[in-house]
Structure 1
Amino acid sequence: MIKSHIGLKLAIMLAVSVALASCQTGKPADNGTPGPTAATSEAQPSSPSPTPLPSSAPPLTPQQQMALNTELIGAATNNDSAAVVALLADGAQLEFKGAEGRTALVAATKSNAVAAAKSLMAAGANVNTKDDLQDSAFLYAGAEALDEILEMTLAHGADVKSTNRYGGTALIPACEHGHVSTVKILLAAEVPVDHVNNLGWTGLLEAVILGTGGEAHQEVVRLLIQAGANVNLADANGVTALAHAQATGQGAIAQLLLNAGAQGAP
């Protein structure tokens, strides 16, 4: 009885030893059941990194970049808004300067290409960038009464104190030309009303000296007075707007100035 018990115990110990050995070697145990393989008992190698995707487009060559930029200015000049958007998507540069130092936005403005100008400003074009004549989109639109573009430039950060090649603000040439609606826009935008340009003229002086004295210029003078223009500021020669008006027979304007406190002989 004792011998059979010892024999059974030895048999059990032998079976356990064989099972442990098969687990370590990956060989099947005596009972025919396969043990784990070396691959399962060791760390699996990491999967290879995914191959990076190629860039969407190769870099533009200088010639390609120049062609796109030139096409953009042409599209802007022709008011082709769809082409403007497409060219920008292809890599055309907003602030590239072409002939006469014009950006696409300045070119669009000088053609009164409203739709193209709108697309360019929406894309971030600088409304204060100037061409070789020192015209920006804002300054030119103000001088030429391109009111729709002018209002867009104001909404996109126009510098109302910026000056043109004559040292004048956008308001001064608008006054000269009698652009009543434009003068209203610029005064509402708080363009300095008494700014003096390189000729020694304010908007009021320029409206009188270079104006016709007609209804449009009378209204401009009235608007300037309402905005607080100094009616007694003289030009570089010491001549006031009132004196100029009287000397050129602009009676209605002279009366407006007198009513506003201008000093001089009635």
Structure 2
Amino acid sequence: MGSTCRGAPATRLGQSRPPASPSWTGGSGNEGGPVGNQLGAVLPLSILPLCRYESTSSEEEEEEEEGDSSSEKASADSSNSEELGDTETSDEELGEGAAQRLGGVWSHGPQLSPIHCPQLASSSLVLQEWFRLSSQKSSIPDTVANHLLAFAEVSPALLAHVVNLADGNGNTALHYSVSHSNFHIVRLLLDTGVCNVDHQNKAGYTALMLAALAAVEQEDDMNVVRRLFSMGNVNAKASQAGQTALMLAVSHGRQEMVEALLACGADVNLQDEEGSTALMCACEHGRVETVKLLLAQPTCNISIVDSDGNNAVAIALEAGHSNIAVLLYAHLNGTKAQLPVSTTAPHTPHREQGPSSKGKIAITS
């Protein structure tokens, strides 16, 4: 059997209650400029000097171009620069200072050398520091909230840029937070209003798809998951095998996720690359309650066939789940009457039995 629906991907908070969601007003009349002095005093954030460099680098380049057009102006600019140098720290020095501070953060990370290209170096450091504080199993919501507020204070554009940073595997902080079940941090990311919830990693999976696999115990966490489902495209297909979040939830037995996805408009009839539907997944795995839930959807089509020419009934019978076949027959006949389990099934094409399950998705750092 060639169904691809069978395989799928797979905090210590430091306080008794999660932090209140910040108000993402963004900026204070100085968007694009450095963080205010009072904010810098309140938040001793190692990432801020790097953000200050990135937010002002384009302006400095423009000033340099203007300086090249006139020798007199260049001389004046040089004079002004020397005067400012007596009272302010240059952006390059900020980058070097941040590199020294960050060098002590990672016990097993790279040794940071003096920055010769501050803009490129600061971009890399921002990414590394952001994932260090936001995307670990032990990440603390308060710390993430403080940084998000600081980014918003610098500029809304910076906030959107950092929140949606992706690592070499295409995973964002949202991917990692969902994977670690850090739903307090997921809520903070969603609260920014700039988080791209439909971003696919290199394996083709969104954070929403990963959430469909989560085993959530707290109702507050489940509410965050429902919010994520409502904000994203629940019918998006993973580029790797064409699976949807609903197929993933069904194949992993996440009944509560199935219910939440259906409530958010998940299409029960979508097919993956091999023609399998969520109903076929449920039939193959013998998930009776999930089959009942899917059959209760007015649009559920039992007659759909996969690439082998088999429908849900044939799949249930071949997998040995005659009780599910009875449910499907009853649904096809438009009655709830239970048919004998020994009912002879119609002839179905031979199906090559594949592995019972495929490997789970691993989010690699």
Structure 2 CA distance for partners of 1:152 and 1:69, relative to 1, 3 Å = farther
Deviation at 1:149, TM superposition (A): 4.3
1:77 and 2:151 matched:
no
Structure 2 CA distance for partners of 1:77 and 1:59, relative to 1, 3 Å = closer
Match of 1:238 among 309, 315, 325: 309
Match of 1:100 among 169, 191, 207: 169
Structure 2 CA distance for partners of 1:208 and 1:63, relative to 1, 3 Å = same
**Is the partner of 2:313 in helix, strand or coil?**
helix
Query: Corresponding residue for 2:345?
Result: 265
1:115 and 2:190 matched:
no
Deviation at 1:111, TM superposition (A): 1.4
Alpha-carbon contact 1:139-1:163 (below 8 Å) kept: no
Alpha-carbon contact 1:68-1:87 (below 8 Å) kept: no
User: How many residues are aligned here?
Assistant: 206
Deviation at 1:145, TM superposition (A): 4.8
Deviation at 1:254, TM superposition (A): 1.0
Structure 2 CA distance for partners of 1:111 and 1:262, relative to 1, 3 Å = farther
Alpha-carbon contact 2:229-2:261 (below 8 Å) kept: no
Larger radius of gyration between Structure 1 and Structure 2: 1
Q: TM (normalized to structure 2)?
A: 0.52
One-letter code aligned to 1:63:
A
Alpha-carbon contact 2:236-2:244 (below 8 Å) kept: yes
CA distance in 2 between counterparts of 1:117 and 1:244 reads 37
CA distance in 2 between counterparts of 1:143 and 1:133 reads 16
**Is the partner of 1:139 in helix, strand or coil?**
helix
Q: Which segments of structure 1 move beyond 3 Å, counting only runs of 4 or more? A: 55-58, 143-149
CA distance in 1 between counterparts of 2:128 and 2:145 reads 14
Deviation at 1:148, TM superposition (A): 4.6
CA distance in 2 between counterparts of 1:117 and 1:75 reads 13
> What pairs up with 1:206-217 in 2 under 5 angstroms?
206-209=281-284, 211=285, 213=286, 217=287
Q: Give percent identity, aligned residues only.
A: 24
Structure 2 CA distance for partners of 1:233 and 1:195, relative to 1, 3 Å = same
Deviation at 1:76, TM superposition (A): 2.4
Query: Corresponding residue for 1:132?
Result: 202
Query: Corresponding residue for 1:175?
Result: 250
CA distance in 1 between counterparts of 2:308 and 2:181 reads 37
Q: TM (normalized to structure 1)?
A: 0.70
Higher deviation after alignment, 58-67 or 110-119: 58-67
Structure 2 CA distance for partners of 1:265 and 1:97, relative to 1, 3 Å = same
CA distance in 2 between counterparts of 1:184 and 1:258 reads 23
> What pairs up with 1:1-266 in 2 under 5 angstroms?
55-57=33-35, 58-60=52-54, 61-78=119-136, 79-88=139-148, 89-90=150-151, 93-123=162-192, 124-145=194-215, 147-155=222-230, 157-164=231-238, 165-209=240-284, 211=285, 213=286, 217-228=287-298, 229-261=300-332, 265=345
Deviations, residues 56-106 of structure 1 (Å, cap 9, x unaligned): 354234323332322222222233212222333245611111131111111
CA distance in 2 between counterparts of 1:202 and 1:177 reads 14
CA distance in 1 between counterparts of 2:224 and 2:133 reads 17
One-letter code aligned to 1:75:
L
Instruction: List runs of 5+ in structure 2 lacking aligned partners.
Output: 1-32, 36-51, 55-118, 152-157, 217-221, 335-343, 347-365
